[in-house]
Structure 1
């Protein structure tokens, strides 16, 4: 029964996706088709409706709309330029300083805004004029911008990690947030290494002269209010002062006040931000609701157990299993958004890794890291195409540089996969995980 249900789900879903049906409807209809193969039509419809309601009625889910609204407020709040100035003041002596500043600012802005595409658009636009003036290769700039933008999705606050917590049955959000720092910084560091190497080959130099401490202090003062959001929200969640949902609400209030103080948010723009956030939140919450049907079908037909038994029967080597799962996730990420992929693959692969002793927090970071690579991988690769558009170049010109970035980012993935301390070190050191 398990394999029949799995092939039904995959077959129907792929057909609907090929026809251009939105992913949420494709998941819901394919799950309903699998239910109809096991129970009566009346029971199937009632069960599907109940699962959608249950999936959307969890209190912890309200954190996602709040973080989406906070991210959109920060996108409009005028913080990208301040972050670019700060990173440039810190790393401006490195070869290709504007490339390095782009990478660092993407990591900071992506973490605050919660959107890789928004980071690529905002930060890329900020550094583009300077790169053009200094004669940087537009294709290399676009590759650096696109490759580094998803790093912020691993650094909290992260909607992807909250979604994984829900899909995994309540894995600690605090532990996931702490676990995301090192992999996110590792991704950015890999991109900086490639950017510096490429800049050295092309002869791009950093700022000359002594280190400008005065400029650093001025840039830090301008950026501190924006960076304080991460400290307050994440610090409060990890310390247990408030929940992830309460932290998200505080982030909204903080972002609104900051945007008003900077003079970038008006009554009219605030209303537009709220309506855009409501549309985006509605899509995400509905997707989680219909994915709850998928989770129920998998549990009822014992698909995870069947997949786990098949993989463990194929090989008993944890390393081989992890490589197989990484390959599947990398492939899925090339044509599927992060949120639906998390909801689909978590119940499939989590029982497998738990069978050989992997902590669910580590698997969550492996999962999200893999799927974030899909943001910069054709044929979908939304973030990559945003970076190409901002950089005024083409995919054919950018891809030779992207190959170097893919190699560096994948080396980071191997560290996250096979070195537990990369993701679990901070939760262990702070006592969040025992």
Structure 2
């Protein structure tokens, strides 16, 4: 990256300039002071991501999630999750985690899950006597499951950068997503026991759980259908995303709870989210190109391999770098900036690029609930009406369990690679 672009980007970030505009400003500063970058090529690099057919899947997956989450099916999923955890201590916290795991197969977005679920589950927990900081912490951390379990929008973006298979990445994200969910459940249970949170007295009958499962089946089936279609080769990720929208529409029409106002609202929300993501992708692509032109990936790979470090130490270095970047840069631009840098290094140490994609998504996902730029952290704290510091203190056990899952994903390839 140009010696001008990085300081300019950091300065704009410190001035609280939105990340998309900070990326554009940094690129503009580099072009203004250096003849190394041809303005025509810069403009081409800015617009080229909009021509990538793979990225067309993003708005359709967002729209499918908006349609399913906002209807009666969303409430049925929450009810099903509450029955699954039953009488476990801290059950409402467990409901938040299980619901996030269920919604992860629908939305593919941590921010969408944090907003949609937090607005329902955080007030519910507060009403039942749970501390607001705890409710905020659970929602902040569990929402990240949405970017690991397929369909995952960050994994689609990584696939476009690394040239890997979306189907392989989706399949590789299942076990790490379940591990992250299980670790979050364990953290909730330990906190609930230590602080003496209430437990539900109502026992869930098998017949009641079965009925709730059947009611939720249309949403539970969606990720299975998506994976089956992509992995079997029956459809491309983009085609599957369009099918997912039609599937969501049919489900809502069958439940008879889709009004014209709901449909328009879902499209507007999806359009806004897509516009924000696309701006970040286009702005990041310019800096990614500058990084490549300046041979940063080659120099980093040569430096690290030249130090003759063991493979485990290189993986630690990669994880630390991704964790640090994830705390200060949003997920989409972080993937687009780190991808060109770390992919050559992964190839040099014989680290599978599918495994790297899951590692990157998990690292940057942890950044989503870590200050100073934790998106789900800010959303959840705002909904709960608590200060960021209070939520961060309550998040400490979640950080520890998340790092444990990260270590397993980084050093046990069987958790991510194809069978």
Same fold (TM over 0.5): yes
Match of 1:174 in 2: 167
Structure-2 separation of matches of 1:49 and 1:300: 15
Matched, 1:81 2:75: yes
Candidates 371, 375, 380, aligned match of 1:382? 375
Q: Distance in 2 between matches of 1:35 and 1:359?
A: 35
Corresponding position of 2:109:
115
Question: In 1, distance between residues paired with 2:380 and 2:25?
Answer: 34
Query: Which residue of 45, 54, 63 maps to 1:51?
Result: 45
Contact (CA 8 Å) 1:71, 1:114: kept in 2 or not? yes
| CA shift for structure 1 position 341 | 0.4
C-alpha distance 11-228 of structure 1, shift in aligned 2 (>3 A):
same
* Residue of structure 2 in register with 1:368 after alignment: 361
The CA distance in 1 between the partners of 2:90 and 2:134, in whole Å, is 11
Please give the TM-score of this superposition, normalised by the length of structure 1: 0.89
Gaps in structure 1 of 5+ consecutive residues: 430-434
Q: Secondary structure at the match of 1:13?
A: helix
Selected match of 2:19 from 20, 23, 28: 23
- Residue 100 (structure 2) aligns with: 106
**Of residues 9, 17, 25 in structure 1, which corresponds to 2:5?**
9
Q: How does 1:242-281 map to 2 (within 5 A)?
A: 242-281=235-274
2:91 maps to which residue? 97
In the alignment, the residues of structure 1 paired with residue 200 and residue 34 of structure 2 have an alpha-carbon distance, to the nearest angstrom, of 67
Count of residues in correspondence between the two structures: 419
Structure 2 matches for 1:273-312, cutoff 5 A?
Answer: 273-312=266-305
Which of 50, 61, 64 is the matching residue for 2:55?
61
172-181 vs 75-84, greater mean Cα deviation: 75-84
Change (3 A) 1:49 1:138: closer
Cα distance change of structure 1 residues 176 and 403 upon mapping to structure 2, 3 Å threshold:
same
Counterpart residue number, 1:189:
182
Deviation at 1:300, TM superposition (A): 2.7
Shift of 1:29: 4.2
Distance 1:118 1:283, change over 3 A: closer
Which of residues 325, 333, 344 is equivalent to 2:337?
344
Q: Which runs of 5+ in 2 are unaligned?
A: none
Q: Is the 8 A contact 1:81 1:123 kept in 2?
A: no
Pick from 312, 315, 324 the counterpart of residue 322 of structure 1.
315
Please, what is the CA RMSD of the aligned residues?
2.2
Q: What is the aligned partner in structure 2 of residue 432 from structure 1?
A: none
Answer with 373-382 or 306-315: which moved more: 306-315
Deviation at 1:208, TM superposition (A): 4.9
SS of the aligned residue for 2:133 comes to helix
Q: 1:386 to 1:287 in 2, by over 3 A?
A: closer
Scaled by the length of structure 2, what TM-score is found?
A: 0.92
Task: Identify which of 202, 205, 210 aligns with 2:195.
Answer: 202
- Aligned partners of 1:90, 1:295: CA distance in 2, in Å? 44
Structure 1 counterpart of 2:211: 218
Provide the residue aligned with 2:221 in structure 1: 228
CA 1:286–1:202 in 2, change beyond 3 Å: closer, same or farther? Answer: closer
